[in-house]
Amino acid sequence: MSNRIRHFMGCVALALSCIMIGSAMTMTLNPVAEAENTTVVHTSPFTAAILEVRDSVVGVSNYQEVTYGNYGNGFGSFYFGFGYGYGRDRGQQEPETKEELASTGSGVVIGDGFVLTNYHVVEDADSLKVTVTDDAGETEEFAASLVAYDENLDAAIIYAPDCKLPAVKLGDSDKLLVGDWAICIGNPLGFAKTTTVGVISALGRGIESEAFDKYGRKETITNAMIQTDAAINSGNSGGGMFSVTGELMGIPTLKYSGSYYTGSSVEGIGMCIPVNAVKPLIESVLSGEIKAIAPEKDKAEEANTNDLTGKPRLGVSIANVNSSSRAAMLGQIPDGVFITEVEKDSPAEQAGLLPGDIIVDVDDTVITDASQLKAEIGKHQAGDVLKVKVYRAEGLLEHSANADAPDGEYVDTEVTLAVIDTPEAEETSGGFLFDQP
């Protein structure tokens, strides 16, 4: 082969090599360009569920009345919380009572205006507000009233008729398994709709706590809780723990931050109330069994404590529970009104009420003192039938104020009111579990 032909073939080979290199470079660069134009976003398994339920999680604000007094004692203004000052002189002013924000928590919409939350979020509230926050951070408050609660479960339902948000779906917490995903949504530290994710760490955790029932009697409660490692912080209480399908499975209630005995810190141990445990309370409200009262009508009418002569009566002599007695201070007996005597052939005797019974409830109204009981009865006429709940323990009437009270139980009965003569007031001596009304 001549040199000219070899030179020609070399040029052809070089040209082919350049074409192949250029093609390879083009093939390498094109996918990058295409990727820039078709970016793929990998959605988490939680996104759809969170999008479905987050707008149904609201804030709950607890407002309570506090009393301030400005006293001219040279020390300026003081807040004591109960309306008394120290060192009063001519510069004193009348105490001023204001309603202020006491605490905040979370809640979940479960029906038309009905919000499920923790009892401890709404406890002792003089008024309640439901707070709704949109994605732009704008907030709106709606007046709410307490409809129903179970202090032992630490669950409550409030009613905000002007709050028009969709209700969540209730799941079946009995079907949860350890390792299932747990999505918690709430308002920790006021950060609305904060979402945290973890797993179900354990089921049926027996959490023991001491609580007072609605009548003021102390008892030890053990609740079976759902344990999760999803972050739960102050303000999460009453919010929702959801499944990846967007069903409400639990109510975040508490977290452990450390050990009292060892001083060690703790992370990732939070507890939720199973939704199945509160379904009876939810159903009683949504079915209308428990009547929802609009917030503006939630305030009780002023007590009428006029003399009951010539008006329908129970036919009992009564006295207040001695709040300084050992049994009352330890919560061994409920707050209420002692029956010191039952009149013969009276409505109370016919209903089976006994001396020593403590009246704690009349027609679903909690009774804490004698004037309140008189006011409640004063709203009725002869022939009206009242539902009366009493606490009964053997020998309670003669019990010393300095001794432990015997165990008893709550008894329900019905009393048909009648007009009977008013006897002379019974005198009661000191040192017992009751005081003069």
Active site residues per annotation = 120, 154, 237
Q: How far apart are the first and last CA of the chain?
A: 132
Residue 324 backbone dihedrals phi, psi, to 5 degrees: -95, 0
Structural contact between residues 302 and 374, judged by C-beta atoms closer than 8 angstroms: no
Who contacts 32 (Cβ-Cβ below 8 Å, separation ≥6)? none
Q: Residue-wise over 107-140: b if at least 16 C-beta within 10 A, else e?
A: bbbbeebbbbbbbbbbbebebbbbbbbeeeeeee
Residue 39 backbone dihedrals phi, psi, to 5 degrees: -65, 130
Compute CA distances 162 → 64, 103, 142, 226, 382, whole Å: 22, 22, 6, 32, 39
The Cα–Cα gap between 19 and 23 comes to 6
Q: Give the Cα-Cα-Cα angle 241, 189, 169 (nearest 5 degrees).
A: 20
Residue 142 backbone dihedrals phi, psi, to 5 degrees: -125, 135
Structural contact between residues 73 and 87, judged by C-beta atoms closer than 8 angstroms: yes
Structural contact between residues 314 and 415, judged by C-beta atoms closer than 8 angstroms: yes
